[in-house]
Amino acid sequence: MFVDTLKRDTALIDLSRAANNAARLRCAGDGVVLVNGADLTPEPIAWLWPQWLALGKMHLLAGAPGQGKTTIAIGFAATVTIGGRWPDGSRCDPGNVLIWSGEDDPADTLLPRLLAAGGDRSRIYFVQGSRINGELLSFDPARDMQALEAQAERIGNVRLIIVDPVVSAVTGDSHKNTETRRALQPLVDLAARMNAALLGITHFSKGGQGGDPAQRVLGSVAFTAVARVVLVAAKVKADDGDDRRILARGKSNIGPDDGGFEYHLEQIEPLPGIHASRVLWGTSVQGSARELLTDPSEQDGEETNAMAAAIDFLNEMLQACPVCSKDLEVQAKEAGISWRTVRRASDAMGIIKKPAADKRWYWKLPNLSNLANLSKPENVDNLANMDNSPPSNDGKSYEQ
């Protein structure tokens, strides 16, 4: 019955998506395309794994080295290829999987892990590169995304795309918000057009134990902000003192943002002479990622780590030019950083906060005093007229 309901919902979503796409294509001329809300049909989130992996959306799987992130992702791929069961017992519709890995060899690492997880190798496709003028070159997302989409359409029924590590998609500085967002967008668009879940694998930054795990993702805050769901894998001390591994939801903009599953890693021999790791899923656990993945001995440092994450956030967001405080608040929420902590960090950093001609408040780093040398932002007219007088205390300074 569950399968019938899922198929019916999927059919309705496909019809709704087709109608929405038709509405967007009515304007064939050049220029800005607007779609009236009355021409759109509300559609629910389509899930590959209900509440965990959404079709057409980007996800992150983050954790420290050695936590089995790639093994977990390959386990997900195996589930998709055979229409198996997810850790919560729900059934997955079978489909094909694309894997682009810049770290592990498909023949001696990834395929053995797929076989260890019981996957169907005929449904897995590894991105090897791009052939141009007879020469095999490394895959370049900026150059080869259209060709990859054509191949994916030829394969058909691609339900999961894995990028390991996701930083490989960023050809510029992966610590800069704008460059990272621009680099990720082609992958995000590909997943949306293919109606496939996109799973990017990444590491935690060094240090930063405790606090919100989603804030510890390596690189720009854009990785966490662009992803609709962030999964985190970690090994922590249980109450009995033993180590236990947990996969938890660190962030979700489209469903529950808590809960997780215990898991174990084991080595098996899927073929004679071939050894590989696989994931064994345990019981579900309740609580936020911070609660589940923080050792009691680390909790005293949570406030310090949250402040450090907020300081890094402000340095990244304000490094090029002043930014409206309201926009900063939205970005902080996307990154899983509380606005209260950001405001405290801004005070500690001496962030300059001034109203502009558009009556909005803008923040800038204290060392960015010469606006004329900054790259031209969208609100350049407002920024050029920033009021350099001290903020008033007439009750209107709450936007700071």
Clarify whether residues 80 and 24 are in a common domain: no
Domain-terminating residue out of 247, 272, 294: 294
Three-state secondary-structure class, residue 279: strand
CA nearest neighbour of 209 among 230, 234, 239: 234
The amino acid sitting at 279 is V
For the ranges 3-7, 191-195, 214-218, the lowest mean pLDDT is seen at: 3-7
Clarify whether residues 354 and 214 are in a common domain: no
- Residue 368, H or E segment: none
Residues 307-327: pLDDT tens digits?
888 888 888 888 888 899 888
The highest-confidence range among 55-59, 131-135, 208-212, 222-226, by mean pLDDT, is 55-59
Q: Cβ distance 220 to 51 under 8 Å? A: no
Which pLDDT score, from 0 to 100, does residue 8 have? 58
For the ranges 97-111, 150-164, 285-299, the lowest mean pLDDT is seen at: 285-299
Clarify whether residues 361 and 380 are in a common domain: yes
Clarify whether residues 241 and 387 are in a common domain: no
Three-state secondary-structure class, residue 95: coil
What percentage of the chain carries pLDDT values higher than 90?
45
Domain-terminating residue out of 266, 294, 322: 294
Clarify whether residues 165 and 40 are in a common domain: no
- Output the domain CATH number for residue 151: 3.40.50.300
Clarify whether residues 265 and 369 are in a common domain: no
Residues 331-386: pLDDT tens digits?
888 777 888 888 888 888 888 988 888 888 899 888 755 443 333 344 444 444 45
Clarify whether residues 20 and 85 are in a common domain: no
Clarify whether residues 93 and 170 are in a common domain: yes
Opening angle at CA 314, ends 310 and 318, nearest 5: 175
Reply yes or no on whether the pLDDT at 387 is more than 70.
no
Q: Cβ distance 59 to 197 under 8 Å? A: yes
Mean of the per-residue pLDDT values of the chain? 82
Q: Is the pTM of this model over 0.75?
A: no
**Rounded CA separation 200/196 (Å):** 13
User: What total of structural domains would you count in the chain?
Assistant: 3
Clarify whether residues 249 and 155 are in a common domain: yes
Which pLDDT score, from 0 to 100, does residue 360 have? 87
Clarify whether residues 249 and 366 are in a common domain: no
Which segments of 26-110 does DSSP mark as H helices, in order?
A: 69-82
Tokens 């205390």 found at: 393
Residue 258 CA neighbour count, 13 Å, CB half: 7
Clarify whether residues 29 and 55 are in a common domain: no
Q: Cβ distance 143 to 188 under 8 Å? A: no
Q: Which domain holds residue 78?
A: 46-294
Opening angle at CA 313, ends 311 and 318, nearest 5: 95
Q: Is 37 buried (19+), middle (13-18) or exposed (0-12) by CB count in 10 A?
A: exposed
The amino acid sitting at 58 is M
Clarify whether residues 356 and 252 are in a common domain: no
Domain-terminating residue out of 278, 294, 310: 294
Phi and psi torsions of 171, nearest 5°: -85, -20
